[in-house]
Amino acid sequence: MNRRVLIAIAVLALAGALAFAARPHETTADERVDQITTELRCPVCQGLSVKDSTSETARQMRDLVAQRVREAKTNAEIEAEFRAAYGDWIFLSPPLASWTGLVWLVPVAALAAGLALVTGRLRSGGVPQPSAPTTTEVAALRERVAREEAAEG
């Protein structure tokens, strides 16, 4: 088969699979409890989430979240209840809005700056044509071969 046809079919299949995975779908009550408890810090543990912790406190918090989900509260309402009780500290992922937004901004800014820096140093235009090496390049190559063999020996 023609390579390009094959690539086109594969890309379509891949896109289809990813679109299927990304489709919006109803979350079950259990999934919602998991979503919310993953974000909550177990107050008596060292950095573990309420979902993961085996402590009694975490178990009670899981039960409370499950009860709120049964009461048809939204995720935002449930989170607001925990924020009112504990403050932002209870969330393992700091809010984007306030000054804690820096922890989100800095990695993104660093990534953008780094990519810009690298892109600026790349050669633009077509592929360089392979040319015969100059004598200095050959000399450098010879020296390198000799040196690496000496180093490995």
* 55 contact partners, CB below 8 Å, separation of at least 6: 42, 44, 45
Q: Which of 79, 101, 107, 136 binds another protein (CB under 8 A)?
A: 107
The reply to whether 130 sits near another protein by the rule CB under 8 A is yes
Cβ closest to another protein, residue 84 vs residue 124: 124
């177990």: which residue's tokens? 42
Contact 32, 75 (CB under 8 A): yes
What minimum distance in Å lies between the beta carbon of 75 and another protein?
14
Residue 107, classed as helix, strand or coil, is helix
The reply to whether 133 sits near another protein by the rule CB under 8 A is yes
* 63 contact partners, CB below 8 Å, separation of at least 6: none
The reply to whether 150 sits near another protein by the rule CB under 8 A is yes
Q: Which of residues 66-85 bind another protein (CB under 8 A)?
A: none
Cβ closest to another protein, residue 26 vs residue 46: 46
Under rule CB under 8 A, how many of the chain's residues touch another protein?
72
What is the identity of the amino acid at 37? T
What minimum distance in Å lies between the beta carbon of 79 and another protein?
12
What minimum distance in Å lies between the beta carbon of 96 and another protein?
10
> What character string, x for contact with another protein (CB under 8 A) and - otherwise, covers 14-53?
x--xx-xxx-----------x---xx-x----xxxx-xxx
The structure tokens listed for 138 are 């050959």
DSSP-derived secondary structure letter, 1: -
Whole-angstrom distance, CA of residue 149 vs CA of residue 152: 5
